[in-house]
């Protein structure tokens, strides 16, 4: 292990890679280098511990494949996860892509998402003078919101949270069509989530 890795507490090449990705991502959106590096390294250590505590840190690399197999065999927990994703438009490939990621990768995605969403929310309130409701609406227009519906009780109907398994496909669609075009299209919908659901229904996504 390098002195650099020891200094930041990294235990693997994956953690070092995640540190590089997310510290640079934070710098790109305005964080100072040292602050970005500190935030990224702290997040990796914290989320690593969470994974250990919750028993997900050592899930196999093909966990997504196993999840689908056990769901189709009727295992209750697997079936609940897989069927919810399928009902929301996720394919088995989408499910595999998300759940085959290392646990720490998934956790870092959620961590970074919360930072960026909150940054927009906070800016809308403190810099633009928006109410909390207006700030939340701006976030929901700018970004897809993922998660369990019971954690976002104010988001209902077509605005309800998307399953995490759709992330890869939504990101690929945005990359293929461009952020500006997507932004213009989303204007015609109450939220980014409603736009995504419409695109899935029309077979565009």
* Residues counted in the chain: 205
* The pLDDT value given to residue 148: 84
* Domain spans of the chain, in order of start: 144-205
* The pLDDT value given to residue 149: 75
Name, in order, each residue with C-beta under 8 angstroms of 157's C-beta and a sequence gap of 6 or more.
Answer: 194
Q: How do residues 74-86 score in pLDDT, each as one tens digit?
A: 999 999 999 999 9
For residue 183, what pLDDT band results from cuts at 50, 70 and 90? very high
* The pLDDT value given to residue 200: 96
DSSP H helices in the chain: 3-8, 13-28, 33-54, 63-72, 76-87, 92-99, 103-126, 132-142, 167-177, 179-186, 192-201
For residue 3, what pLDDT band results from cuts at 50, 70 and 90? very low
Name, in order, each residue with C-beta under 8 angstroms of 38's C-beta and a sequence gap of 6 or more.
Answer: none
For residue 181, what pLDDT band results from cuts at 50, 70 and 90? very high
* The pLDDT value given to residue 5: 44
Note the Cα 163 to chain centre separation in Å.
10
Phi first, then psi, for residue 146 (nearest 5°) are -115, 155
Dihedral Cα 103, 107, 108, 112, nearest 10 deg: 160
For residue 194, what pLDDT band results from cuts at 50, 70 and 90? very high
Packed helices 179-186 and 192-201: angle between N→C axes, nearest 10 degrees: 100
% of the chain with per-residue pLDDT over 70: 95
Cα–Cα separations (whole angstroms), residue 180 to 32, 92, 186: 27, 29, 10
Cα–Cα separations (whole angstroms), residue 45 to 33, 114, 116, 180: 18, 17, 20, 35
Q: Give the SS3 label for residue 146.
A: strand
Q: How do residues 112-141 score in pLDDT, each as one tens digit?
A: 999 989 999 999 999 999 999 999 999 999
Q: Is the pLDDT of residue 1 over 50?
A: no
b/e per residue 112-144 (b: at least 16 CB within 10 A): bbebebeebbeebbeeeebeeeebbbbbbbbbb
Averaged pLDDT, 12-34: 93
Averaged pLDDT, 139-157: 88
Give dist(CA 173, CA 182) in Å, integer. Answer: 9
Q: What is the pTM of this model?
A: 0.89
């Amino acid at each position: 292990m390098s002195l650099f890795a020891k200094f930041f507490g990294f235990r693997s090449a994956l953690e070092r890679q995640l540190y590089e990705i997310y510290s640079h991502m934070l710098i790109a959106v305005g964080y100072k280098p040292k602050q970005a590096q500190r935030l990224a390294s702290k997040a990796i250590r914290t989320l690593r511990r969470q994974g250990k505590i919750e028993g997900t840190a050592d899930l196999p690399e093909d966990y997504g494949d196993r999840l689908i197999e056990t769901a189709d065999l009727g295992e209750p927990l697997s079936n609940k996860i897989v069927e919810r994703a399928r009902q929301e438009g996720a394919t088995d490939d989408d499910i595999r892509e998300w759940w085959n990621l290392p646990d720490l990768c998934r956790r870092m995605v959620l961590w970074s998402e919360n930072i960026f969403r909150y940054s927009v929310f906070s800016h809308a309130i403190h810099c633009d003078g928006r109410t909390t409701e207006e700030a939340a609406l701006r976030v929901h227009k700018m970004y897809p919101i993922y998660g369990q519906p019971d954690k976002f009780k104010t988001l209902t109907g077509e605005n309800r949270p998307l399953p995490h398994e759709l992330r890869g496909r939504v990101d690929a669609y945005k990359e293929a069509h461009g952020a500006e075009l997507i932004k213009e299209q989303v204007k015609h919908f109450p939220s980014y989530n409603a736009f995504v659901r419409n695109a899935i229904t029309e077979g565009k996504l």
